Amino acid sequence: MTHSEFLDHPAQAKDIGAHSAPFLCLLSLTRCFTWNILTLANTTFNGPVRSENGFKVVSKNSSTGAFTDVVDIASTGIVTNKYVKHVGFATGVTVNTTAGDSPSIGEFTQPANTIITDIKIFCDTSPVIGTGDIGYEVGTTSSGAQIVAAVTDEILDGGTTVVEHNVTLTTLVVQTQSGTTAPASVQYTSAERTIYCNITNTVDATTAGSFTFIIEYVQIA
């Protein structure tokens, strides 16, 4: 009797003899286990599905049987497929009690092989200053302006406070275009790096307030 016949006609196996009982039991368990695996493909879970090492959604080639990743979610929770837009943030950036840089410059870790496409600044808590300006800069060094050039008065220009939930749009630094050479964009990085988000003020503040930098970026490799 073949393996298939054992699975499909277990009743006929009794003719082989009592000494085959353990083997028949194993085959029966194999048949049950195989059926359960086949039905798992359509299992519906009631509750969160957890994994310590990410998730993959794949497609299978009907001819070769080869699998191709459709969606790949890393253990960090980030979708790592190419050309998917992500949003990061640097929060808790406050206005200094004395004129100058923020005492709590925000930091955002830009993943490798990504390019920053947009940065907005959201006012979480209103600051209060003497009549003056509040601005910003974003760079690859603390108090640098390589990503977004320093603008000293775009959040507030000659005022005393910023209304809570105000949103400021920024302009990314643009590399030389239409030139004899075309340098790499400063918004791109091939290796993980820290981006520094700074709020500046021209006069002393009596209330520090708080800002969040919302950073959009795209995975390109």
Q: Where are the domains of the chain?
A: 1-43, 52-78, 85-219
Domain 85-219 CATH (choose: 1.10.3470, 1.10.10, 2.60.120, 1.20.1260): 2.60.120
- For residue 21, how many C-alpha atoms fall within 13 Å in the half-sphere facing its CB? 2
Centre a 10 Å sphere on the Cβ of residue 27 and count the other Cβ atoms it contains. Answer: 16
Q: Which residues pair with 198 in a beta bridge?
A: 137
d(Cα 203, Cα 135) in Å, to the nearest integer? Answer: 11
Q: Which residues pair with 116 in a beta bridge?
A: 217
pLDDT top residue among 95 and 50? 95
* Residue range 21-68, pLDDT digits in tens: 555 554 555 555 444 544 456 778 788 878 887 777 788 888 898 887
d(Cα 178, Cα 168) in Å, to the nearest integer? Answer: 29
Question: Rounded to the nearest 5°, which phi and psi values hold at 4?
Answer: -65, -40
- Return the pLDDT at 6: 45
Distances (CA, A) of 105 to 100, 131, 141, 204: 11, 23, 11, 17
DSSP 111: P
Which of 3-17, 32-46, 49-63, 132-146 is modeled with the greatest confidence?
132-146
Under 8 Å between Cβ of 75 and 82: no
Distances (CA, A) of 183 to 113, 146, 174, 194: 17, 14, 10, 21
> 123: which 2 tokens?
């006012």
Q: Which residues pair with 108 in a beta bridge?
A: 195
pTM, 2 dp: 0.71
